[in-house]
Amino acid sequence: MAGVYRPLAGALLPFLPALASGAARILGVSLALACPLAAQELEPRALQNAPVGMSMIGGLAGYSRGNLLVDPAVPIEGARADVWSLALAYYRTISLFGQSGKIGVVAPLYTGTWEGTVAGIDTATSRTGLADPRLSLSWNFLGSPALTRSGMRGYRPKTVAGIQLTVQAPLGQYDPERLINLGLNRWSLQPRLGVSHPVSSHLTLEAYGAVTFYSDNPDYYGGTVLSQDPFLEGQLHAIYSFANPGIWVAGSIGYGIGGRITVDGVTQDELQNTRASASFRYPIARQHALKLVYINGITTRLGSDYDTVQLAWQYAFGGRM
C-alpha cells in the first residue's frame, strides 16, 4: 500500500499564465508524472497460502519525503513534498479451481505539503483527502492448494505461481481546476504474474512482473485530455523466516519503465526508476501482527523520488476448519 499521490503545488496555478504556452503544457505533463504508480509497490509474500475463508483487516500509517524531478524546460526548482498516508484494507481468502485465491480492497487517505520555487518565487500548498481505492483478485494457480485450517497443518511450501488483477477506481478527491489532486480521475488495470520458490526452510526467493494500463482522464486541467502509455515493472524479493514462522524479514528491489504521459499534444519522457525496500514482520498477539517497511528511491528519472517509512497492523481471523 505504498501510495498514490499527485505531488506538486496547486499554488503553481497563479503563475501558469506567466509561463510560455509550451512550457505550461510541459509543466502539466511533468506534474502528471509525479504520482507513484501502484505498480511500483514492493510487496513480498504476496503468494503466501492461507486457509480458505480467512479474513484479514489491516491498517497502515506512512510518511514520505523527497524531491519531485520535472522536465528541465520547466521553470521549477527545489520541488519537494512531505506526505502522510493512512489506509484501511480488507482481504479474504477464497478457493478458485481447487487453488487458493484472495480478494481485497484498499482505501487510502493522504495529507501533505508540496513546495518549490517557480520562476524565482517560493510557493507551497497542501492537500488532504481520499485517494483512489483499489480492488484486487489473486489466484495461485500452481503449488498452492485451497486448504482448510486443519489441512494447513500438513502443508509445506513449495514453488508457487500466481496472478493478480488490480483495478484502481476514480473515486478519490479530484478537481479539474487544480493541477494537484489526490484522485486521478481515470481507471487503471494491473495484471501481475509472480513466482515464489523456497530455497530452504528459512529462505524464499520471489519474482514478479507487472504491467499497468490506464484509461484517459478526459477532464484534466485546462479542459485537456491526459493519456498515459502502459507502465512495466519487475520485482525481486528475498525473505528469511525465523523459527517462529510469523517472524520474517525481507529485502526487495524493483525496476519500472514506461508510462509516457501526453497532455494537449505534449508527450513527456518515459518514467524510469529503481526502488529498494526492507520489511520486518513481528506477531504481537494471537492473530495480530505489525510490519515495518522502509522504501528508498535508488534512481529516478522524472516523477517522485521519495524515501518512505510505513507501519502496518494486521488482524487475521476465521478460516474453514
Q: What is the pTM of this model?
A: 0.87
The one-letter amino acid code at 173 reads: Q
Q: Is residue 3 part of a domain?
A: no
Q: What is the pLDDT of residue 16?
A: 43
Q: Look up residue 11 and give its DSSP letter.
A: G
Residues 6+ apart with CB under 8 A from 284: 290
Domain count, the chain: 1
Residue 90's domain is classified under what CATH number? Answer: 2.40.128.130
| 90, 135, 219 from 50: Cα distances, Å | 15, 19, 42
Q: How many residues does the chain have?
A: 321
Rounded to whole angstroms, how far apart are CA atoms 224 and 154? 58
The tens digit of pLDDT for each residue in 264-283 reads 888 877 888 899 999 999 99
Rounded to whole angstroms, how far apart are CA atoms 11 and 116? 9
Q: Is residue 2 part of a domain?
A: no
Q: Among candidates 35, 18, 72, which has minimal Cα distance to 261?
A: 35
The tens digit of pLDDT for each residue in 67-122 reads 776 655 566 677 788 889 999 999 999 999 999 999 999 999 999 887 877 667 77
Q: Is residue 90 part of a domain?
A: yes
Task: Compare 304 and 158 and report the one with higher pLDDT.
Answer: 158
Q: Which of 14-23, 222-231, 252-261, 292-301 has the lowest mean pLDDT?
A: 14-23
Q: What is the pLDDT of residue 300?
A: 75
The answer to whether 236 and 206 are in contact (CB under 8 A) is yes
Q: What is the pLDDT of residue 155?
A: 87
Rg from Cα positions in the chain: 21
Q: Is residue 5 part of a domain?
A: no
Q: Is 108 helix (H, G, I), strand (E, B) or coil?
A: strand
Rounded to whole angstroms, how far apart are CA atoms 189 and 8? 25
The answer to whether 64 and 41 are in contact (CB under 8 A) is no
Q: What is the pLDDT of residue 38?
A: 37
Q: Is residue 84 part of a domain?
A: yes
Q: Is residue 83 part of a domain?
A: yes
Q: Taking 60 as the threshold, does the pLDDT of residue 3 lie above it? A: no
Q: Is 76 helix (H, G, I), strand (E, B) or coil?
A: strand
Q: Is residue 1 part of a domain?
A: no
Q: Identify the domain containing residue 106 by its residue range.
A: 10-318
Q: Is residue 59 part of a domain?
A: yes
